[in-house]
Protein backbone atom coordinates (compact mmCIF):
# COMPACT_ATOMS: atom_id res chain seq x y z
CA UNK A 1 0.00 0.00 0.00
CA UNK A 2 1.36 3.37 -1.00
CA UNK A 3 0.61 6.78 0.49
CA UNK A 4 0.07 8.83 -2.64
CA UNK A 5 -0.89 12.20 -1.12
CA UNK A 6 -0.60 13.98 2.22
CA UNK A 7 -2.19 17.36 2.89
CA UNK A 8 -1.72 19.34 6.09
CA UNK A 9 -3.96 22.16 7.30
CA UNK A 10 -2.29 24.21 10.03
CA UNK A 11 -4.34 25.25 13.04
CA UNK A 12 -3.13 28.68 14.04
CA UNK A 13 -2.86 29.43 17.75
CA UNK A 14 -3.42 25.87 18.92
CA UNK A 15 -1.52 24.93 22.05
CA UNK A 16 -1.61 21.16 21.59
CA UNK A 17 -3.52 20.64 18.33
CA UNK A 18 -1.15 21.88 15.64
CA UNK A 19 -2.79 20.74 12.40
CA UNK A 20 -5.28 18.51 10.66
CA UNK A 21 -4.20 16.20 7.86
CA UNK A 22 -5.67 14.11 5.07
CA UNK A 23 -3.96 11.19 3.39
CA UNK A 24 -4.72 9.27 0.22
CA UNK A 25 -3.79 5.61 -0.13
CA UNK A 26 -3.04 4.10 -3.53
CA UNK A 27 -4.70 7.10 -5.17
CA UNK A 28 -8.03 5.50 -4.34
CA UNK A 29 -8.90 5.83 -0.63
CA UNK A 30 -8.77 9.00 1.47
CA UNK A 31 -8.67 9.38 5.25
CA UNK A 32 -9.45 12.82 6.66
CA UNK A 33 -9.22 14.44 10.08
CA UNK A 34 -5.93 13.00 11.24
CA UNK A 35 -4.50 15.36 13.86
CA UNK A 36 -0.96 16.51 14.51
CA UNK A 37 -0.73 16.94 18.27
CA UNK A 38 2.08 18.33 20.43
CA UNK A 39 2.11 16.00 23.44
CA UNK A 40 4.35 15.54 26.44
CA UNK A 41 6.79 13.47 24.36
CA UNK A 42 6.66 15.67 21.27
CA UNK A 43 4.65 15.62 18.07
CA UNK A 44 2.47 12.65 17.21
CA UNK A 45 -0.32 11.79 14.77
CA UNK A 46 -3.77 10.99 16.11
CA UNK A 47 -6.15 9.04 13.89
CA UNK A 48 -9.77 10.16 13.35
CA UNK A 49 -11.86 9.03 16.32
CA UNK A 50 -15.18 9.38 18.07
CA UNK A 51 -16.03 9.67 21.72
CA UNK A 52 -17.81 6.65 23.18
CA UNK A 53 -20.53 6.79 25.81
CA UNK A 54 -18.02 5.73 28.50
CA UNK A 55 -15.83 8.78 27.74
CA UNK A 56 -13.06 6.89 25.92
CA UNK A 57 -12.17 7.44 22.29
CA UNK A 58 -12.28 4.86 19.50
CA UNK A 59 -10.30 5.26 16.27
CA UNK A 60 -12.54 5.19 13.19
CA UNK A 61 -9.75 4.43 10.72
CA UNK A 62 -6.28 3.17 11.54
CA UNK A 63 -3.30 1.30 10.09
CA UNK A 64 -3.42 -2.40 10.92
CA UNK A 65 0.31 -3.04 10.58
CA UNK A 66 3.17 -1.45 12.48
CA UNK A 67 4.95 -0.73 9.21
CA UNK A 68 2.05 1.24 7.72
CA UNK A 69 1.53 3.12 11.01
CA UNK A 70 5.19 4.19 11.08
CA UNK A 71 5.13 5.18 7.41
CA UNK A 72 1.88 7.09 7.76
CA UNK A 73 2.99 8.96 10.87
CA UNK A 74 6.37 9.76 9.32
CA UNK A 75 4.83 11.14 6.13
CA UNK A 76 2.27 13.27 8.00
CA UNK A 77 4.87 14.69 10.39
CA UNK A 78 7.23 15.43 7.49
CA UNK A 79 4.44 17.28 5.66
CA UNK A 80 3.70 19.20 8.87
CA UNK A 81 7.35 20.20 9.25
CA UNK A 82 7.48 21.36 5.64
CA UNK A 83 4.28 23.40 6.14
CA UNK A 84 5.69 25.12 9.22
CA UNK A 85 9.18 25.89 7.86
CA UNK A 86 9.87 29.57 8.20
CA UNK A 87 6.86 30.18 10.45
CA UNK A 88 8.87 30.03 13.69
CA UNK A 89 7.07 26.89 14.87
Q: CA 51, 80, 33 angle in degrees (round to 5)?
A: 25
| Residue ranges of domains in the chain | 3-84
Q: Residue 14: is its pLDDT beyond 90?
A: no
Domain 3-84, CATH among 3.40.50.300, 2.30.29.30, 3.30.1120.40, 3.40.1390.30: 3.30.1120.40
The pTM of the full predicted model, rounded to 2 decimals, is: 0.88
Give 36-58 pLDDT, tens digit per residue.
999 999 999 999 999 999 999 99
Amino acid sequence: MEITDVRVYLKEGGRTLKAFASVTLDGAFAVRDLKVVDGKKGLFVSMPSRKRTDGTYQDLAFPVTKELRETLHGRVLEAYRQATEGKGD
